Chain A
Amino acid sequence: MNQIPHYPQISISLTINGTLHELKVEPWVTLLDLLRERLLLTGTKKGCDQGQCGACTVLVDGKRVNSCLALAVSRDGAEITTIEGLAQNGELHPLQVAFIGRDAFQCGYCTPGQICSAAGLLAEGHTRSRAEIREHMSGNLCRCGAYTNIADAVEDVLMPRIAAKEAAE
Chain B
Amino acid sequence: MSVGEITHIGRPTNRVDGRLKVTGQAHYAAEYPADDLLYGYIVGSTIAAGRIAAMHLDAARQFPGVVEIFTHENRSKAAWLDRSWRDEVAPPGHPFRPLHSDRILFDGQPVALIVAETFEAARDAGSLIRIAYDVDAHCTELEAKRAEAYVPPEQRSGIPPPPDPRGDAEQAFQDAPVKISRDYRVNAEHHNPMEMFATTCVFEGDGKLTIYDKTQGSQNAQGYVTSVFGLRSKDVRLVNHYVGGAFGAGLRPQHQLFFAVMASLELQRSVRVSLTRAQMFHIGYRPDSYHTVSLAADRDGRLQSIMHDAVASTSHYEDYQEAVVNWSGMMYHCDNVKLTYQLAKLDTATPCDMRAPGAAIGVTALECALDELSYELGIGPLEIRRINFASKDENTKKQFTSKALLECYSEGAAAFGWEKRSPKPRAMREGRELIGWGVSTGMWDAFLQKAQATATLKVDGTLEVATAASDIGTGTWTILTQIGAEAFGLPLEDVQARIGDSTLPMSPVEGGSWTAASNGSAVQAACDAVKHSLFKQARKMANSPLADASFEDVEVRDQRIFRKDDPARGLSVFEVMHAAELKEITEQGKVSPNLRQMLKYTSYTHSAVFAEVRVDEYLGVVRVTRVVCAAAAGKILNPKTARSQILGGVVMGIGMALHEEAMTDHRLGKIMNANLGEYHVPAHADIEDIEVIFVDEKDDKVSPLGVKGLGEIGIVGTASAVANAIFHATGVRVRDFPITIDKILNAPRPS
Which residues does A use to contact B, with CB under 8 Å?
2-4, 6-7, 26, 28-29, 33, 36-37, 40-50, 52-53, 55, 82-84, 86-87, 92, 96, 99-101, 103, 105-112, 115, 133-135, 137-138, 140-151
Contact = CB atoms under 8 A, between A and B. Distances in A.
Interface string B240-253: 00111111000000
Nearest to A111: B21
A99 B118 CA distance: 35
A53 B14 contact: no
Given A48-B277, A100-B14, A107-B193, A83 B245 contact: no
Interface string B211-224: 00000000000000
A145 B65 contact: no
Contacts of B457: none
Contact of B643 (A29, A103, A143): A103
Contacts of A36: 30-31
Interface string B177-196: 00000000000000111111
A127 to B, nearest CB: 12
Contacts of A33: 119-120
A107 B119 contact: no
B22 A142 contact: no
B685 A146 contact: no
A55 B193 CA distance: 12
Given A45-B195, A100-B15, A107-B194, A143 B681 contact: yes
Given A49-B276, A55-B194, A100-B14, A141 B24 contact: no
Nearest to B192: A143
Contacts of A4: 64-65, 117-118, 121
Contact of A103 (B640, B650, B687): B640
A143 B120 CA distance: 27
B163 interface: no
Given A4-B65, A109-B244, A138-B684, A145 B648 contact: yes
B244 A45 contact: yes
Most buried by B among A7, A108, A145: A145
Contacts of A147: 647, 651, 682-684, 687
B475 interface: yes
Closest 5 CB pairs of A and B: A43-B24, A145-B651, A109-B244, A107-B473, A106-B473
A140 to B, nearest CB: 7
22 contacts: A2-B36, A2-B37, A42-B28, A47-B676, A49-B276, A49-B277, A53-B277, A92-B22, A99-B18, A103-B14, A105-B21, A105-B22, A107-B194, A108-B21, A109-B193, A133-B684, A135-B684, A141-B194, A142-B684, A143-B245, A144-B473, A147-B687
B675 A100 contact: no
Contact of B22 (A37, A111, A141): A111
B668 to A, nearest CB: 21
B496 interface: no
A103 B641 CA distance: 7
B195 A107 contact: yes
A47 B118 contact: no
Contact of A42 (B27, B641, B690): B27
Which of A36, A43, A101, A115 has the most chain B CB atoms inside 10 A of its CB? Answer: A43
B537 interface: no
Interface in B163-213: 191-196
A45 B194 contact: yes
B231 interface: no
Which residue of B23, B36, B687 has the most chain A CB atoms within 10 A of its CB atom? Answer: B23
Given A106-B648, A108-B473, A151 B22 contact: no
A133 B641 CA distance: 23
B277 A148 contact: no
B647 A149 contact: yes
Interface in B425-465: none
Contacts of A111: 21-22
A53 B684 CA distance: 12
Contacts of A151: 684
Contacts of A52: 277, 675-677
Most buried by B among A45, A86, A103: A103
Interface in B458-488: 472-475
Residue with the highest number of chain B CB atoms closer than 10 Å, among A96, A141, A148: A148
Nearest to A108: B21
A144 B192 CA distance: 10
B194 A83 contact: no
A148 B684 CA distance: 8
Contacts of B641: 103, 106
B194 A6 contact: no
A111 B305 CA distance: 48
A112 B23 CA distance: 7
A28 B242 CA distance: 30
Interface in B629-670: 640-641, 643-645, 647-652
